[in-house]
Chains A and B, each alone.
Chain A
Amino acid sequence: MLRREGLSKLTGRERYVDDLPLEDFLWGATVRSPSPRGRIAEIRFGGGVDWAEFVVVDHTDIPGRNAVYLMEYDQPALAPGYVRHVHEPVLLLAHPSRETLRRAIPEVEVVVDPDPPILDFRVVPGPEQIQYGSDNVLKRLEIKKGDVERALAEAPFVVEGVYETGAQEHVYLETQGMLAYLDGDVLVLHGSMQCPYYIVKALVPALDRPEELIRVIQAPTGGGFGGKEEFPSTLALHAALLALKSGKTVKVIYDRVEDMVATTKRHPARIRHRTGLDENGRLLAQDIEVILDGGAYVTLTPVVLSRAIIHAAGPYDCEHVRILGRAMFTNMVPFGAFRGFGNPQAHFAIERHMDVIAHRMGIDAIELRRINLIREGGTTATGQVIRDGVDRQAVLSRALELANFEKRRREHWVRNSEHRYLRRGIGAAMVYHGAGFTGSGEVVLASRLHVQGHPDGRVEVLAANIEMGQGTITIFTQIVADRLGYDPDDIVVAEPDTHRVPDSGPTVGSRTVMVVGRLLEVACDDLRRRTGLGAEARGAEVREAIVAWHIEHPEESLLGKARYEPPPGIEWDDEKYRGDAYGTFAWATQVADVEVDLRTYQVRVLDFVSVQEVGKVLNETLARGQIQGGVAQGVSWALLEECVWRDGAMENGQLTNYIIPTTCDLPPIRVEFMEVPYEFGAQGAKGIGELPLVGAAPAVLNAVAAATGREPAEIPLTPERLMVLLASDETRGGPE
């Protein structure tokens, strides 16, 4: 099935939040902190501006609790006299003219009496830098399996490595945007977002307003990648405060620079591995430490840390594992959700480390993976038994075959010995990703979904999950069409509107098809049952029964309902961090073939292969697009995307110098699927959207290692970093 809103997008008719026609409205804007930490001594309103024309909102205008609530109440909606990061929101302004507003913003001077900030999450903070608890640790988590100290002491080989990853900006092409207005007593928020109910959850305590008087509607959303998971709650709160104070419709649209410097990014990470092995390369012990930069507020950091440590040992079976995770408070812009949610950092480290181990021990890196890859009945670091019928060795083999791995490797050896300045290399990564919320997360969410049968026989999906390019509308249509034997034209997917749709959970974590899609199937079954039909009824029979039901029940609505139930046998201990962290995992092997130019230190990706086990492909074009787009983001995280920081501020907050790839910076991305249906996913599907980003960076860096004989351990591997690495005398051990 073709993307349902595809033509609307291709012809420019899709109306995003900034495209909606509005009359008599105000533009809203944010005045931000110039400083990473300190007391606001004074706010000066400059001369030359008629401030009486402006609506001005500060923290004293907040009717309820001054916080953007999601997990904690620590992040103020507007700084209450103290700031903890550069660009922290301090004041809001609104004016009918966008130009007048733009000119006014720099005329507001926020004077900060500075306190010493902590800007590097890797160093131990001094006493004057402590701002969270007694040690600035936002969250500490631990996984223990077996006896790692003893196993390491007894291991014949121990290999250590430290790996670092940088912040990454989402660069959704549509910047953040929100409208707020009053419809009678109901406050309406309409904008670009992934999680309408997160906004409700944040607005209720901050505005001290009952949930019934808050209505959140998602507008078509021009990309999210996690960047529109929690951040839009802040924006919605700001727009709401301006609308409540002015009594008018308020529109806030960030320009690209504001969007890049002031919103969340991927957590920077430092991950240390100490790995014990026997002579054959069998993993005996994995001692792992994961440190994340949390930034100035908690946001979703504890859950990102959780996903990072759960995946940190990689898709391998090892008897003795210890993973210590901690997320540090810093006076940086808060870091938040980004596609992969901690797992890309985790896999960059373990998958780069596997190649380092192989080189040190003189073992083939692929063979090292084959020896240790989780087998059917094997266990993960949390003790989850993997028994899903997936042939992981075959996933690996197929990717190597498609990439022509052995042949290319031999060709590269010959070519590299002959060429003056070009060095080629090929590298692989084996990765896995648990879809849906971690641990008991889905149980806590308790997602609900409805399917409504209308009097004319049409069926409408009522869910809070949104379309942001990944294909929700199309896939939901397909699932109903398949389940009820319906013509897609008779299926409507409702606009996510919290006054119409139940809370089916956030649109994150690769959960929409697997978890929510399954609920949709259950709701379809329930709808059919309520019309008096059996489970085999399809198509016209269902349609007629819906029409007949309405004739018998005038003025009533016919709803098929579903509520999340965990798959049987899933057990998770949140205290000990043991058990089934996810309902299931999906698996992938990714292979990168690169060329390094020793004159310019540029790395060009010549070929990329991604073989992904996805349970079941529901729509090949959409699934392929998810994988190609995820790979692209992973490759560019590895090579191009660097946030340049100065005193806690992002210096390169524009697309001129924060580089994302063009058509010429990427090769065709070759995709192949493997399908082993998952019993508890819609039509057997597993989550798909995050995994392709997870292995791209280590695959690319393993290829660079093969090309250069060095061991890069930090991304982004910009030409500058590569130059420094190649200038060092250190070559890796072991034969090439």
Chain B
Amino acid sequence: MSQRKTAGQGAAAEVLRISFTLNGVPATLEAPPSERLLDTLRYRLGLPGTKEGCAEGECGACTVLLDGLPVDSCLVPVYQVRGRRVETIEALDPADMAHYHARGTTQCGACTPGVVVTASWIVRHPELLETHSIRDLMAGNLCRCTGYDGIIEGVEDELEERGGTAGPGMHRS
């Protein structure tokens, strides 16, 4: 339980100056280097859209884009983002949410920011669908409410609107 060691609990609170690009804007902060990026975003930078679900890289609720690729921010020590680009749910355009809204992609909403961040990566890279199904690409985001159909269909519709193909393996059956 709470006894588990987590990143950022080193006894000597060494602080590092870290510069990176956050949601398109240059950012500089001082933080213990091994602080979890998740905590930096939530508690230091006031961006609580990124959620903690499991704190061990299983559920994907804390997904952000690091240099354009989805990562679990609970597993990223903040020093690793120096000089890199971090994009969180807060950077995404609400106007791009219509299909997810219509398809029931969100229910309780706790997994949703991570799901939407991963989905944004998929729809920006339709070439991924040449080798993977949407189900394959979304497998790093656990959802306990939807059974996933509302998520998969939302991504399909968004891809379709953007003129991408949803690829051969949209459903794995």
Contacts and interface: CB of A to CB of B under 8 A. Distances in A.
Given A11-B92, A255-B4, A655-B54, A223 B144 contact: yes
Interface stretch (B76-84, B109-117, B159-167): B109-117
B49 interface: yes
A478 to B, nearest CB: 15
Interface string B82-105: 000000111010100100111111
A311 B109 CA distance: 32
Contacts of A7: 94, 97, 101
Contacts, number: 203
B53 interface: yes
Interface string A609-643: 00000000000011011001111110000000000
B147 A628 contact: yes
Interface of B is mostly: loop
A29 B2 contact: yes
Contact of A607 (B6, B56, B173): B173
A456 B16 CA distance: 54
Contacts of A470: 107
A225 B144 CA distance: 9
Contacts of B65: none
A172 B8 contact: no
Contacts of A606: 173
Contact of A469 (B6, B108, B142): B108
Interface stretch (A97-105, A159-167, A300-308, A514-522): A97-105
Interface string B41-81: 01000101111111110110100000000000000000000
Nearest to A605: B173
Contacts of A663: 134-136, 138-139, 141, 148, 151-152
B106 interface: yes
B106 A6 contact: yes
A536 to B, nearest CB: 33
A571 B158 CA distance: 52
A149 interface: no
A669 B48 contact: no
B143 interface: yes
Contact of B146 (A16, A32, A256, A628): A628
Interface stretch (A257-265, A349-357, A383-391, A706-714): A257-265
A304 to B, nearest CB: 21
B144 A13 contact: no
Q: In which size bucket is the chain B interface? A: 35 or more
Contacts of B143: 173
A48 B97 CA distance: 51
B6 A102 contact: yes
B17 interface: no
Contacts of A668: 149, 152, 171, 173
A46 interface: no
Nearest to A654: B56
Given A11-B94, A105-B3, A664-B139, A654 B107 contact: no
Contacts of A632: 146-148
A33 B144 CA distance: 29
Interface string B20-56: 0000000000000000000000100010111111111
A125 to B, nearest CB: 28
Given A628-B149, A662-B139, A668-B171, A10 B108 contact: no
A173 B53 contact: yes
Contacts of A221: 108
Interface in A540-571: none
Nearest to A635: B147
A92 to B, nearest CB: 12
A15 B135 contact: no
A598 to B, nearest CB: 20
A465 to B, nearest CB: 15
Contacts of B61: 173
Given A258-B1, A625-B146, A628-B147, A10 B112 contact: yes
Nearest to B9: A99
Given A7-B97, A654-B58, A664-B136, 15 more contacts: A7-B101, A9-B108, A11-B49, A11-B94, A11-B116, A173-B145, A174-B53, A469-B107, A607-B173, A622-B104, A624-B149, A625-B104, A628-B146, A632-B147, A654-B56
- Which 8 A-B pairs have CB atoms at the shortest separation, nearest pair first? A12-B49, A469-B108, A222-B110, A9-B109, A628-B147, A12-B89, A469-B107, A632-B147
